Amino acid sequence: MNEKNVAVVTEAGNGLGRKFAKILKDNHYQVVLAACKGSYKKLFEDGEVEPDYELIEVDFTSEKSLATLEKTICESYGKLDLLINNAEIVNGFGHKIDQIHIDDIKDVYEINFFSVIRVIQVLKPLLKKSDDPRIINITSSLGDISKMKDDGFCYSGYSLTAYCTSKAALNMFTHLQCKEFKPSKIKMYSFDPVTMKNCTHNSVMICDGVKDEFVSMIKR
């Protein structure tokens, strides 16, 4: 059994994923980067992976690929202490109803919503082997109906049908899972890195207040 806290960051090749990995490392976690396709290739070829990170290529739409991820973590560490569900994609920016393609929406839901469910299902047995297991689902204010109704919110004018509704679905799923896991030792959180003070395009900047909130969720 690995004595160090072990964390998995899904889709670790995007800007936020790398930021989360760095914060985890600074807080004494053994970090496993689970990246798919292009982001895996970029991390691997560009040498952007810290020497003490473990990089694993994963197809989040494939149960077989996720089973391989689970097996690798089990054999290397014997447990999982923290799961950061960070995988997401976006498409259809500004599309009106006549421009929306259902297949594009399905593609976004496959990663932003369904893959989160798959990953939790597959890795739950390893989380249960931790003394203090935690799951953090990375959401977005664009999935918060109250904020999107607020004209003062910087993203309220955005038309991103697939992305916004997938994050709204993720928010409800997280709420339901928090209730399900409450009697168990698994703690689940929703984390939104976008705030009014941090209002930039899918920002890779995490301001101090937001960072402090994230650290409070991972601190042992």
Cβ neighbours, 10 Å, residue 202: 14
* C-alpha 61, offset from chain centre: 14
* Spatial distance between the Cα atoms of 92 and 109, rounded to a whole number of angstroms: 13
**DSSP E strands: which ranges in 27-113?**
29-35, 54-57, 82-85
pTM: 0.91
167 half-sphere exposure, CB direction, 13 A CA radius: 24
CATH number of the domain that residue 199 is part of: 3.40.50.720
Could you say which residues of the chain have pLDDT below 70?
1-2, 12-14, 46-50, 195-205, 207-208
Longest CA–CA span in the chain (Å) reads: 55
Q: What would the pLDDT profile of 164-205 be if each residue is shown by its tens digit?
A: 999 999 999 999 999 999 999 999 999 988 765 555 544 456
| Structural domain boundaries, residue 53 | 5-218
Expressed in percent and rounded to 5, the helix, strand and coil fractions of the chain are 50, 15, 35
Domains contained in the chain, number: 1
Question: Which pLDDT does position 1 carry in this prediction?
Answer: 46
CA–CA gap between residue 123 and residue 115 (Å, rounded): 12
> Tokens 């399905």 label which residue?
106
